[in-house]
Amino acid sequence: MFLLSELPFPPPANPRLPPLAVALGILGLLPFLGLGFLATLPDPSQRYVLLLLAYAAIILSFLGGVHQGFALIAPTPLPSATEPVGDWHKAGNRRLLGASFVALIAWLDLGLALFLPRWVALLVMAIAFLLLVIAEQKAAFHGWVPTGYMWLRWSLSLIVVLVLLAVLAVRWFGVAG
C-alpha cells in the first residue's frame, strides 16, 4: 500500500503556507476529479476530456505564474563572494523565463488536443505536471519556495497526474476496474 510518508518529501512539521492556500489547493482538485470521472463516460464528442485538458492547462499556467511571483517577490539570493554577479542575474532571468515557459507549454498542449488524438494531449499534460513539480523541487533546494510548498505541490500534482493517466487508460486503452 502506498503511504504519503513513503514519498521522497516528508510532510512539513510547521508549514508556513497560509491555511487558505492549502484549502484552495485541495478544492482545486474537485474539477480534476469531477471532470476526470465524466471524461471516462461514453461521449463521442469527448467534450469532458477537452474540459479536463482546458482546466489542467489553466492550472499549469497558474503554477507557472506562482513561480513568477516567487521570483519577483524574493529574487534569487545575492551571489556569494565566489559567484560572478553575471551568473546571479542569469539565474533570476532563467526563473522568470521558466515560469513563462510553463504557460506556453500548457497552451500548446491544449492545441494538441485539437489537432492530435486527445490521448496524446493527456499524456503530455501529465508529463508537464510531473516535470514542473520536479523543477519546483530543485527550486526548493535553493530555498526559492516557502516551507510547506513542496509537500502541498507533490501531493496535489500526484493526484492530478493520476487522474489524467486514469482517463487516458480508461478512455483509450479500455482499462476498467
Query: What was the pLDDT predicted at 80?
Result: 52
Per residue in 18-75, pLDDT (tens digit) is: 889 999 999 999 999 999 999 999 888 899 999 999 999 999 999 999 888 877 776 5
What's the whole-number average pLDDT of the chain?
83
Per residue in 76-114, pLDDT (tens digit) is: 555 554 555 455 456 677 888 888 999 999 999 999 999
Examine the pLDDT at 119 and tell me if it is beyond 60: yes
Contact of 103 with 62, CB cutoff 8 Å: no
Domain boundaries, the chain: 18-76+87-171
What is the Cα gyration radius of the chain? 18
Q: Which residues of 116-150 are buried (b: 16+ CB within 10 A; e: fewer)?
A: eebbebbbbbbebbeebbeebeebbeeebbbebbb
Query: What was the pLDDT predicted at 142?
Result: 80
Q: What is the pTM of this model?
A: 0.81
Q: How far apart are CA 115 and CA 109, in angstroms?
A: 10
Using alpha carbons only, give the angle 11, 152, 161 rounded to the nearest 5 degrees: 115
Q: How far apart are CA 142 and CA 126, in angstroms?
A: 25
Examine the pLDDT at 123 and tell me if it is beyond 90: yes
Please list, in sequence order, all residues whose beta carbon lies within 8 angstroms of the beta carbon of residue 90, skipping any fewer than 6 positions away: none
Q: How far apart are CA 57 and CA 52, in angstroms?
A: 9
Examine the pLDDT at 7 and tell me if it is beyond 50: no
Residue 157 C-alpha cell reads as: 500534482
Examine the pLDDT at 11 and tell me if it is beyond 50: no
Contact of 136 with 145, CB cutoff 8 Å: yes
